[in-house]
Amino acid sequence: MHAPQAITLDHEAVANESKHWVRLTAACNSKCIFCLDAEAQDGRFMTFDDICVEVRRGREEKNASRLVVSGGEATIHSRFHDVVAYAKSQGYRWVQTVTNGQKLADRDFFLRAVAAGLDEITFSLHGHTPELHDHLTKTKNGFENLMRAMIRAVRDGRVIVNVDVCINRQNVEHLEAIVALCSRVGVREFDLLHVIPQGEAFEHRAELFYDVDAHSEALRRVFRYARVPGFHIWTNRFPVQHLEGLEELIQDPHKMLDEVGGRRVQFRRYLDEGTPIDCRDAQRCPHCFIEPFCSALDRHVARGHEGGFDEFAVGSNFALAAHAPSGVRWLGVTALPESPLGPLRVPATVVPPETLLPAGSRVVVERADQLPAALALGVEVEVRLDRELAAWLLENPDSLNERCVLHAPTRAKASESLALDPDWRNFFLALDRRVRVENLPACLAPGTRLERAPRRLDTALFHTDGRWQIDAFVDEYVGNHYYAKSLRCKACPVAASCRGQHLQSLRAHGFAQLQPLEGEWAIDASAQLAAWPTDDPDPRLAAGAPPQAPAFRIPVAANAPVPFIDTEAGRRS
Ligand code: SF4
Ligand code: SF4
């Protein structure tokens, strides 16, 4: 394993540790011109009792071991130290705060925080000089106070100290100077946050938004610190296509849950009532890190209305077939009783399926020993490839016939992709057969017959009352729909009908695997893909975001209802 891949796995392990955020205030003693949260800041301070409920909820419902105490600005809450101590008493292993550092400049305040059990302080520093930092944060003496607090915390040695920086047009060329400044006082961990079009940041977009390409040199100079021993660099909301060659810096995609959680009320109203999301417009969304998620959600809703799904996954609950959206070809069902085979798809007209599979069914195999039995059924066979099965097929290529579709599964984690995926391109070159292939971009399946993977609607996405489960959709998105392309893809003849490769594969194996098509394969693949619909950009957004219809509902009795609680922190729904 290369060192960057090891960093990716380390980042994945940290990112997947269950973390709970609790907001102490909707107030702040700074006025950052890129504040994402300004609209929510109405000056409120949460009561200590409410905060304690929220702290306990993180342990009880999420089994979180890390608590992030945030605001607004958490340190201006009069019970800040009590909250830290209470969190420790509830069993949190690690308590962190994210702060502008103004209150922590006071020695006694800092010492009380450490005594209460604070483990980590993340200082928000946005400039290498007082002029730049104080201008961006609109805080008099902000830089001076923050640096005093940071130096004290580092010298004290009992807390982990790190820094987050909002990258914007004003500071992008000074990022290295910011890192150098912090490094001189002993800080080596940085979270670099890309500015996004929300809150005050959108109001100040002329001053803040920047062209990533135009500043790629400055950005890469800083990103490369990730490979300097002793330094830890994280990116946050940074457009992934600009991290080619530094894939270990791609933010863990499961963080999307936090991003979506912050806008949960809006997503809920969109899905339940069809209320347009305030920020859904062609000016903003192209600058937004969440854009692929919002477009995937729109596409799912649109497909449900327009008959765009191929498969309706009902598991073993055939009663749900009655709710199948129009246009569905297949019911996705779990394995038949006592069958050695995996899941299967049966024609949507067959309810329940007979033990003998009707024509038009498709069975799924994941192991070589399943293949003969599956082929004997006389139906289509989806061969879900991993490295072991791919190696077996290279030894036994005649096992495949016209009814086999080689399927490249997406993986929930980069570590799984690293452990399980074959080298796709070299596998198909070595196989050297015109096999049917789905779920891969053309550059990774040379010489094959490219097929579009079935579009699947899973009943696990719905509550008992038929409403969409937002968190379940985030998981579905991260696991199955989070794709990206290389900047090079612009030069590829099939770019318009290609969505790229799944993000976890890119994190594990790099963007370098994506190479624009050339020669005969370019002509062949272009002809094959000519009939495919384009998947990107989202057609509704491109059309200027017309009013949206509420999402369709599918009541799923087996799914536990999770009430939507419209609280300040935004909850599961
Ligand atoms: S992509 Fe989504 S969250 Fe981002 S600005 Fe657009 S609608 Fe808002
Ligand atoms: S557009 Fe990009 S990902 Fe798609 S086939 Fe071409 S090079 Fe590969």
Q: What is 470-483 written as a DSSP string?
A: HHHHHHHIIIII-E
What per-residue confidence (pLDDT) applies to 439? Answer: 96
Give a yes or no: residue 157 inside a domain: yes
Please give the Cα distance from 147 to 153 (Å, whole number): 10
- Are both 236 and 322 inside the same structural domain? no
**Do the beta carbons of residue 271 and residue 468 sit within 8 Å?**
yes
Please give the Cα distance from 88 to 524 (Å, whole number): 62
- Are both 371 and 513 inside the same structural domain? yes
Structure-block tokens of residue 259: 């991003």
- Are both 399 and 459 inside the same structural domain? yes
- Are both 65 and 148 inside the same structural domain? yes
DSSP classification of residue 561: P
Q: How many domains does the chain have?
A: 2
Q: Where are the alpha helices (DSSP H) in 185-290?
A: 199-203, 205-208, 216-223, 256-261, 264-273
Tokens 């693949």: give the residue: 525
- Are both 228 and 307 inside the same structural domain? no
Give a yes or no: residue 384 inside a domain: yes
Positions of the chain with pLDDT lower than 50, given as ranges: 536-537, 560-573
- Using DSSP's 3-state secondary structure scheme, residue 441 falls into coil
CA of 330 to the centre of ligand 1 (A): 33
Please give the Cα distance from 280 to 547 (Å, whole number): 11
CA of 263 to the centre of ligand 1 (A): 9
CA of 222 to the centre of ligand 2 (A): 28
- Are both 220 and 318 inside the same structural domain? no
Give a yes or no: residue 395 inside a domain: yes
Domain end: 224, 251, 278, which one?
251
What per-residue confidence (pLDDT) applies to 573? Answer: 36
Domain end: 251, 281, 311, which one?
251
Q: Which atom of ligand 2 is nearest to the CA of 515?
A: 7
φ and ψ of 220, to 5 deg:
-65, -35
Burial (CB count within 10 angstroms: exposed 0-12, middle 13-18, buried 19+), residue 104:
buried
- Are both 308 and 243 inside the same structural domain? no
Structure-block tokens of residue 332: 């996705």
- Are both 426 and 514 inside the same structural domain? yes
- Are both 363 and 235 inside the same structural domain? no
Burial (CB count within 10 angstroms: exposed 0-12, middle 13-18, buried 19+), residue 424:
buried
Give a yes or no: residue 121 inside a domain: yes
CA of 39 to the centre of ligand 2 (A): 40
Q: What angle do CA 416, 417, 423 make, to 5 degrees?
A: 140
Structure-block tokens of residue 405: 């579709």
- Are both 336 and 218 inside the same structural domain? no
If one counts every other C-beta atom within 10 angstroms of the C-beta of residue 533, the result is: 8
- Are both 88 and 28 inside the same structural domain? yes
Give a yes or no: residue 489 inside a domain: yes
Q: What share of the chain is helix, strand, coil (3-state, %, to 5)?
A: 45, 15, 40
What per-residue confidence (pLDDT) applies to 465? Answer: 87
Any ligand 1 atom below 6 A from CB of 199: no
**Ligand with an atom nearest the CA of residue 516:** 2
DSSP classification of residue 254: G
Give a yes or no: residue 501 inside a domain: yes
Using only C-alpha atoms, the chain has a radius of gyration, in whole angstroms, of 26
Host domain of residue 141: 17-251
Domain end: 213, 228, 251, which one?
251
**Do the beta carbons of residue 499 and residue 241 sit within 8 Å?**
no
Q: Where are the alpha helices (DSSP H) in 307-408?
A: 371-376, 387-395
φ and ψ of 110, to 5 deg:
-60, -50
What per-residue confidence (pLDDT) applies to 563? Answer: 38
* Model confidence, pTM: 0.86
Give a yes or no: residue 409 inside a domain: yes
Tokens 């005050």: give the residue: 200
CATH number of 177's domain? 3.20.20.70
**Do the beta carbons of residue 154 and residue 161 sit within 8 Å?**
yes
Mutate which of 450, 514, 535 for ligand 2? The one with the most ligand atoms within 8 Å of its CB, which is 514
- Are both 387 and 246 inside the same structural domain? no
Give a yes or no: residue 264 inside a domain: no
Residue 393 amino acid letter: L
Write out pLDDT tens, residues 462-495.
988 889 999 899 999 999 999 999 999 999 999 9
What per-residue confidence (pLDDT) applies to 357? Answer: 74
